[in-house]
Amino acid sequence: MLSLFLSFLFPRRCPICHHLLKNQQSLICPKCYQKVVFVREPVCFCCGKPLENEETELCSDCRKHPKTFKKGIPLCVYNNEVRDSLAAIKYQNQKEYADFYIMEIKKRKLKQLKNLRIDLILPVPLHKRKKRQRGFNQAMLFAEGIGEILHVPASDCVLFRIKYTKPLKSLNPRERLASMEHSFWASDEVKGKRVLLVDDIYTTGATAESCTRALKAAGAEDVWVFCVAIGYGE
């Protein structure tokens, strides 16, 4: 009864087209669902980017810049529709859109995530200045959602961004990693633990790699990286 009352007061919108959903029991328009491209094999053995050639083991980025995390697990491809949807969560406070992606994570990635035997789930942190501006960390929405699915604790009080960095869009992969160096610090709570690091978008992996190095320095046993959206590899 409460959920029906809330849906009447705050009707859901489609996370892709942003229109009110005709079926308020759904999380996305049927037509828009077809526009979300979920990652399928073949993928990069390291970061999980979709590849065109089944015989290719690593994308060009992971060949040139090896990663220290165990493996990347992406949900969907970073196309225009998903880009705008995730931007609406991040910049327009449309937090309810995260429910759709969390539902798909449970549907498509539950078995794989369970097999990792994760001890702790951590979001890629925002710098405190940026978090004040935005009001929340979108990665924590997904970390908490995965935590509920796996019955594993999610925390934003373990891994911290200690250096403010400018947007990385104009930098090449090597410059991105250099810019992110020493940007994160992790507490010893990760010591001996298997950690799942969660972010909304994965591009070159510079942020994930920098976080992983901080976690490893603090004693994490292994680190996996989960992202909602990822670009294509080569």
The Cα 173–Cα 161 span in angstroms is: 19
What pLDDT score was predicted for residue 129?
84
State the residue for tokens 């009707």.
11
Give the β-pairing of 120-123 and 194-202.
parallel
Residue 150 Cα distances to 8, 112, 116, 119, 147, angstroms: 31, 11, 10, 10, 5
Provide the token pair at 221: 């046993």
Instruction: Name the residue with higher pLDDT: 186 or 233.
Output: 186
* DSSP bridge partners of 202: 230
Average pLDDT of the segment spanning 128-139? 87
What pLDDT score was predicted for residue 171?
60
Does position 136 have pLDDT exceeding 50, yes or no? yes
Provide the token pair at 209: 């790699």
Q: pLDDT class for 8, splitting at 50, 70, 90? A: low
Does position 5 have pLDDT exceeding 50, yes or no? no
Tens-digit pLDDT profile for residues 168-221: 565 666 666 666 677 899 999 999 999 999 999 999 898 999 999 999 999 999
Provide the token pair at 82: 């998903």
Instruction: Name the residue with higher pLDDT: 21 or 233.
Output: 21
